[in-house]
Amino acid sequence: MQFYLAPMQEVTGWVYRNVYSAMFGNIHKYFTPFIVPTQKKILKTRERKEVAPENNRGLLVVPQIMTNHAEQFIDTCHMLMELGYHEVNLNLGCPAATVVTKARGSGFLADTRRLDRFFEDIFLALEAEHSTLGVSVKTRIGLEFPEEFEDILKIYNQYPLSEIIIHPRLQKDYYGNHPNLEVFSDALSQSVHPVCYNGDIFTKADYEGFIKRFPSVDRIMLGRGVIGNPGLVREIVTGQQISKEELQEYHDRLYAGYRDALGNEKDVLFKMKEVWYYLGSNFLNAEKELKKIRKAGRPEDYSVAVKRVFEDCEFSK
């Protein structure tokens, strides 16, 4: 089984990837939070740091691009190839309203004719350049109705995608309801490309239940499950659960990494609070202390609140 780390905005950036890899090292591919191309044909400072080779040594990283303009997509591909990248991923899954209203992310799935032309244009351009760049997609199954994915998949099947990563929810679901495994099952049998599954694998039991139903799947993308439990892949593979001491070391390394990379304490605390949104699930009856983490406005207050969680709250593993 190949395990991928999902591209989660504000969470799975280069600092996170390096800390995770140093402690656990069991992810096959790391996907970056999305890059949004512009007409200026440059990468923003944050995006440059995300894909800088010196920030991703020893990691197999796939930059994710969010756009509905073929020319801007190709321009971004050129910049990434110059940095040594051999694969990019197109975001067709983000459900955020601010993205969807611009016909990006999962919003692009609403216009299948335009989506078809987009793929035709980018693959004609890559073919004309004799490019060997791999292009994959991370996709939802539609906006409002699961039946939409039949036509969407037909488009994917027409083009030489390296793989499709399917999060079998609709845009309107956001992260509610359950992944539609019936649609995923149909896609698995009908896709001409390798298929990766993404969605609601939070525990070893979730993984085992999924694999029992879909034994042919050989790649899974994990997001919220790994952010909440960084030892999840190891537990799936070996049965060894993460300890409270490991989780604290992981937290401390991540905190130090953000302080070194960002400098601004306000930005550091924002990043750590995003992570704690998921880490908090590892502790029982900890809401009072977790609330103090969320409200911390100074590093001193944050450190005290974190110490209380690790020392006073019951670890749930």
> Global pTM?
0.95
Average pLDDT, the chain: 96
**For 14-61, how does the pLDDT look when each residue is reduced to its tens digit (9 = 90+)?**
999 999 999 998 999 999 999 999 888 889 999 999 999 999 999 999
CB-side exposure of 49: number of CA atoms within 13 Å? 11
Whether 171 has a pLDDT exceeding 80, the answer reads yes
Mean pLDDT in residue range 124-145: 97
What is the reported pLDDT for 39?
A: 80
Whether 217 has a pLDDT exceeding 90, the answer reads yes
Whether 196 has a pLDDT exceeding 90, the answer reads yes
What is the reported pLDDT for 47?
A: 94
**For 252-281, how does the pLDDT look when each residue is reduced to its tens digit (9 = 90+)?**
999 999 999 998 899 999 999 999 999 999
Q: How many CB atoms lie within 10 A of CB 280?
A: 18
Q: Largest alpha-carbon pair distance within the chain?
A: 62
What is the reported pLDDT for 317?
A: 73
- The 3-class SS string of the chain reads CEEEECCCCCCCCHHHHHHHHHHCCCCCEEECCCECCCCCCCCCHHHHHHHCHHHCCCCCEECEECCCCHHHHHHHHHHHHHCCCCEEEEEECCCCHHHHCCCCHHHHHHCHHHHHHHHHHHHHHHHHCCCCCEEEEEECCCCCCCCHHHHHHHHHHCCCCCCEEECCCCHHHCCCCCCCHHHHHHHHHHCCCCEEEECCCCCHHHHHHHHHHCCCCCEEEECHHHHHCCCHHHHHHHCCCCCHHHHHHHHHHHHHHHHHHHCCHHHHHHHHHHHHHHHHHHEECCHHHHHHHHHCCCHHHHHHHHHHHHHHCEECC
Given the structure tokens 């995003």, which residue do they identify?
Answer: 274
